[in-house]
Structure 1
Amino acid sequence: MILLAVASACAYGIADFLGGTASRKANVFRVVAVSAPASLLVEVLLLPLLGARWNAGSLGWGAASGVASAFGFALFYYALAIGPMTIMAPITAIVSAALPVVVGLAEGERLSAAAIAGLPVAGCAIVLVTVKRDVAMVAISRRAFVVACLAGCAIALQLVMLDQAPHDSGIAPLVVGRSVSSVILLATAIAMRRRIGPGRPPMAVAAGAGCLDSLANLFFLLAARAGLLSISAAIVALYPVSTVILARVVLKEHISGTQWVGLTTAVVGVALLAQA
């Protein structure tokens, strides 16, 4: 379960890195027009391998997760547009982790003392990894804060709804959810085509982001089914770690001392959460 959750976090982080890179070349909705079909294709190709049961539970929860996913995506990128990325991202990540933890505990999940200690450690790691010193004191508007929190809530709802789908439904909820979110996002992109302007995203990069996002959802679903929702969500929320590492390796961006502390703290947090 821990390895699956870590794999999900890594895939989400790499997908965000690729999506952000593609969005530098073109409007984010043009990127979505490529990444959404690519992500759906991955899940369709996995159907024969992993199987699916099409019942009311998988269809209903899958569709609901797709709506939440679309809103989460739109709200997250809106938050990044109106506030500092290094503040908006950790707010969204922490909220997206906190709500599934609350839901998991409310459903009767029991955590060890080490795992309980690991939850705030993981939260601190998210903040340390993403917040750079030069923006740590920047004030943000109330609107930006609210939008970032709403984005986190939408992402959290997506994760919780995927977990609520019957555990014997295979990847049916993923396919349904991806279909719904793709339709919503593509329809939005078409409706806004005059406002998003020209520009063609790097096709391979945008498609790669979509493929990895699908794999991240798959790994999370398998992790939550194999273990605890609260632990899986807390580990998945550490996805900014892989984004920061990629930015250093690929873009040669500087990693501050605070971020190095955050990377180390993330390892400690995962080790504690693994004791659940």
Structure 2
Amino acid sequence: MISLAFGLVAAACWGLHDFCIRFISRSAPVSACLFAVMIFGLLFQTGLLVVTGNYDSIPKVSILPLLYAGVSFAIANAGLYVAFQRGPVWLAAPLVACFSIFAVAIAVIGGAAVSFGQLGAILMILTGITMIAVLADKDSTQETGKFWTVVSALIAAAAFASTFAFGQIAAEMTNGLISAILTRIVAIGVIFSGILALRLPLWPKSGALGILAIMGLLDGIAILSIMTAGNYPHPEYAAVTTAIYGLPTIWLASLVLKERITLKQWGGCLIVFIGVGYLAL
């Protein structure tokens, strides 16, 4: 039950975080938003490390997985921010949640077997996404030209799966908090280099810093919740409940930003996240 509660906290935090991307990116450059949130998230994690004193050595064999995880994390967040900035949320959120499918694919490449239940869950996810895309309200005034939303969201999903795979390898060699901090530091370096190379805005105006700091805090709390659930019975319950994080994002976008979503599309969203939840088991 405690693990379930931690999962719900993480889902709520990540759901609100992703909604904030859609909200704040309307008034601030997405590159500056991404960089600022990554910095604020690092400050939270570093403060947590100092408070807990959870220091650990960094074996040389963990350096390469951490580098791969950091690069993947940078790509994942770039894709995530672009997808939610372009919108609509009802399309971006389920596609990003497809990282579970990519995670299964990575496991299969590593020699793991896929059960009929997992294949069924993947089919559910694909069916739900098809419903969401095909059953859109043709009379709505939502954004057109959603191709790059789809591409960005799928890149984010694949990169998140890669981040988790390499991050888990590194975490087995040192503690999870150290791995998370080093992964974020590498990601910040990659994002900073990309922003400079493309001559994009690096830092937002002061008026946006408050909500970006909250976004960094939400991300940090979500990660902390998942880490803490590992200390209690049935930590897999946290993973399953976290998988629904996209639903509050979609609900907030429809309620606050008036992004129209049909009842049938809601059904497709539920099918997607049920499938994602099963794969998280």
Q: Give the gaps of 5 or more residues in structure 2.
A: none
**Greater mean deviation of Cα atoms: 257-266 or 224-233:** 224-233
Match in the other structure for 2:183: 177
Match in the other structure for 1:210: 216
Q: Give the gaps of 5 or more residues in structure 1.
A: none
TM-score normalised per structure 1: 0.73
Q: CA deviation at 1:70?
A: 0.8
CA deviation map 1:107-151 (0-9, x unaligned): 677888767655544555566568761379x99798775554333
Match in the other structure for 1:68: 72
Separation in structure 1 between the aligned mates of residue 275 and residue 46 of structure 2, nearest angstrom: 34
Match in the other structure for 1:156: 161
Q: Cα distance 1:143–1:43, how it changes in 2: closer, same or farther (>3 A)? A: closer
Q: CA deviation at 1:272?
A: 5.3
Q: CA RMSD in A?
A: 4.4
CA deviation map 1:85-104 (0-9, x unaligned): 6545543432x221212334
Match in the other structure for 1:18: 20
Report if the CA contact (8 A) 1:62-1:173 is conserved.
yes
Report if the CA contact (8 A) 2:15-2:246 is conserved.
yes
Q: Cα distance 1:135–1:23, how it changes in 2: closer, same or farther (>3 A)? A: farther
Q: Cα distance 1:84–1:253, how it changes in 2: closer, same or farther (>3 A)? A: closer
**Greater mean deviation of Cα atoms: 227-236 or 28-37:** 227-236
Separation in structure 2 between the aligned mates of residue 166 and residue 226 of structure 1, nearest angstrom: 18
Separation in structure 2 between the aligned mates of residue 59 and residue 65 of structure 1, nearest angstrom: 10
Q: CA deviation at 1:40?
A: 0.4
Q: CA deviation at 1:233?
A: 6.9
**Greater mean deviation of Cα atoms: 144-153 or 112-121:** 112-121
Q: CA deviation at 1:77?
A: 4.1
Match in the other structure for 2:137: 134
Report if the CA contact (8 A) 2:74-2:187 is conserved.
yes
Separation in structure 2 between the aligned mates of residue 208 and residue 100 of structure 1, nearest angstrom: 29
Q: Cα distance 1:229–1:68, how it changes in 2: closer, same or farther (>3 A)? A: farther
Separation in structure 2 between the aligned mates of residue 28 and residue 221 of structure 1, nearest angstrom: 28
1:243 to 249, 257, 263: 249
**Greater mean deviation of Cα atoms: 124-133 or 29-38:** 124-133
Give the fraction of aligned pairs with identical amino acids, expressed as a percent: 25
Instruction: Name the SS of the counterpart of 1:25 in structure 2.
Output: coil
Q: Cα distance 1:188–1:268, how it changes in 2: closer, same or farther (>3 A)? A: closer
Q: CA deviation at 1:157?
A: 0.6
Report if the CA contact (8 A) 2:69-2:183 is conserved.
yes
Match in the other structure for 1:257: 263
- Give the 5 Å matches for 1:1-276: 4-47=6-49, 48-49=51-52, 51-56=54-59, 57-78=61-82, 86-94=90-98, 96-104=99-107, 117-121=120-124, 124-125=127-128, 133-134=136-137, 147-167=152-172, 169-192=175-198, 202-220=208-226, 236-251=242-257, 253-262=259-268, 264-265=270-271, 268-269=274-275, 276=281
Separation in structure 2 between the aligned mates of residue 260 and residue 26 of structure 1, nearest angstrom: 29
